[in-house]
A and B are shown apart, each in its own frame.
Chain A
Amino acid sequence: MGAIPLGIWVMWGIVFGMAFLATAVAYYKNKKEGGDMKW
Chain B
Amino acid sequence: MVTNLVILVLYLALMIGISWWGYTKTANSDDYWVAGRSLGVWVSVGSYTSTLISAWSILGATGYFYNIGWAGYWQFIGTIATSLFAAAWFGEKIRGTGMVSLPDILAARYDSKYIRAITGFIILVGSVMFLTVQAMGCGVIFHQILGIPQNTGIVIGVAVFLVFTVTGGMHSVAWTDFAQAILIFIGVIMAVVVGLYHVGGFSALHYQLAAKSPQFLDPFAGGKMGVLMIVNWFVIWGIGNLGTPHFMSRFLSCKDVKVVRMSQGLTAIAFALFYFIIGTIGALATVLVPGIKDPNLVGPTFITQMLHPVVAAIIMSAVVAAIMSTASSILLVGATTFVRDFYQSFYRNDVDERRLLFISRVVTIIMAIMAVVLSLKGISTIFWLQPHMVATMGASLGTALVGGFAWKRANREGGLASVVGGACVTTLWFFMELQKATGLHPVIPGTITAIILLVGVSLMTKPLPQTVLARFFPQENPAAGQGAKPVGE
Interface residues in chain A, defined as those with a beta carbon under 8 Å from any beta carbon in chain B: 1-5, 7-8, 10-12, 14-16, 18-27, 29-30, 33, 35, 37-39
Contact = CB atoms under 8 A, between A and B. Distances in A.
Given A7-B219, A10-B219, A39-B42, A15 B76 contact: yes
Interface in B244-287: 255-256, 258-259, 261-262, 264-266, 268-269, 271-272, 276
B207 A11 contact: no
B178 interface: no
B74 interface: yes
Contacts of B262: 23, 26-27, 30, 37
A15 B275 CA distance: 10
B80 interface: yes
Interface in B276-316: 276
A24 B84 CA distance: 10
A12 B84 CA distance: 16
B41 A39 contact: yes
B118 interface: no
B40 A12 contact: no
Given A8-B217, A23-B266, A23-B268, A18 B84 contact: yes
Given A12-B276, A14-B77, A23 B87 contact: yes
B317 to A, nearest CB: 27
Contacts of A2: 203
Contacts of A14: 77
B370 interface: no
B232 interface: no
B218 interface: yes
B258 A37 contact: yes
Given A22-B83, A25-B261, A38-B255, 16 more contacts: A1-B206, A2-B203, A3-B203, A4-B206, A15-B272, A18-B80, A18-B272, A22-B86, A22-B87, A23-B87, A23-B266, A25-B84, A25-B87, A26-B87, A29-B87, A38-B41
A20 B269 contact: yes
A24 B264 CA distance: 11
